[in-house]
Structure 1
Amino acid sequence: MLDFGFDKIALIGAVALIVIGPEKLPRVARTVGTLLGKAQRYVADVKAEVNRSIELEELQKMKTQFETAARDVGQSVRQEVDSATQAFGQTWSDVTGDTSSSDATGALPHLSPEYRHPKKNWRLKRGATPLWFKQKSNVRRHTQSGAARVARFRPPHLNR
């Protein structure tokens, strides 16, 4: 930018004092200072926006590089797993002597029974809890209507 030394600023101030006059000089100086501050903020904002756009472009490039690297690793792992599965299926069929246990895709034979959901009876489980534990943990043992519950917990001086 411009290089202003003390002597140049003093010369500009003296000329401004003569041209503008001593009454208007403080107001003009304030206005010039305000405009210079706005210009500096505008330049700083433009620089920051340019830097953000450059960083965004760099981050997008890095993102695409990471995505391609991850995709390549995933494909290589999938290929290795598929080849190992096919080799195991071939070995399994050789050991068992069964040619129908492995299909063309190399899937493993079904070795475990089907999953069955355990039919838990929560009423039976709840009934197996001892009464002393239910009383201690404030579990209701009998159902009560709302009116019976209000009558039960109503203070004695309010009963009629």
Structure 2
Amino acid sequence: MFDIGFTELLLVGLVALMVLGPERLPGAVRTTGLWVGRLKRSFSNIKAEVEREIGADEIRRQLHNERILDLEREMKQSIMPPTTAASSNTAASDSPSTPNATPAPKPEPEPEPEPESVPEPIKAAEPTPVSRPDRSPEP
């Protein structure tokens, strides 16, 4: 990130020695090291927290989307029966081979399923609560 070589560090050290003097330089270096360490720790904590939050939100979103897709597939399967080879043959014979030919009568639609086999209405899926040891529990 910062391209600081040994010569630049040596130059900064010599300037600091001339400005602060030999008696105050060790204390200044120690204080600077402490502040740099604190900054690094705080930045790494912030970065970890942001990554945790982003990851948790994305996982919640993926789970929610998967539930919706599963419910949609179940509804499609319960509404539309699987197609068979007979229905594809019927569709091929529906198109007239000559322009003046009358189309074959279409089969009547299948009766709707009885009410007890109709799936329950879809409820909005709520994301599962995620335990957060570093925070108080959410309402």
TM normalised by structure 2 equals 0.52
Alignment of 1:131-150 (within 5 A): none
Residue 29 of structure 1 pairs with residue 32 of structure 2 = no
Question: Quick one: distance in 2 between partners of 1:3 and 1:28?
Answer: 23
Q: Structure with the greater relative contact order (CA < 8 A, sep ≥ 6): 1 or 2?
A: 2
Q: Which amino acid aligns with 2:58?
A: E
Look at both structures and tell me which one has the larger radius of gyration over its CA atoms. Answer: 1
Shift of 1:106: 7.2
Question: Quick one: distance in 2 between partners of 1:46 and 1:106?
Answer: 54
Shift of 1:63: 1.2
Shift of 1:13: 0.5
Match of 1:86 in 2: none
Shift of 1:105: 3.9
Q: Which amino acid aligns with 1:62?
A: Q
Query: Which structure 2 residue ranges, 5 or more long, are not aligned?
Result: 82-112, 117-139
Shift of 1:49: 2.0
Question: Quick one: distance in 1 between partners of 2:24 and 2:73?
Answer: 73
Query: Which structure 1 residue ranges, 5 or more long, are not aligned?
Result: 82-103, 108-160
Q: Which amino acid aligns with 1:59?
A: I
Match of 1:57 in 2: 57
Alignment of 1:15-26 (within 5 A): 15-26=15-26
Match of 2:9 in 1: 9
Shift of 1:35: 0.3
What's the C-alpha RMSD, in Å, of the aligned pairs? 2.5
TM normalised by structure 1 equals 0.46
- Aligned-residue sequence identity (percent) comes to 32
Match of 2:101 in 1: none
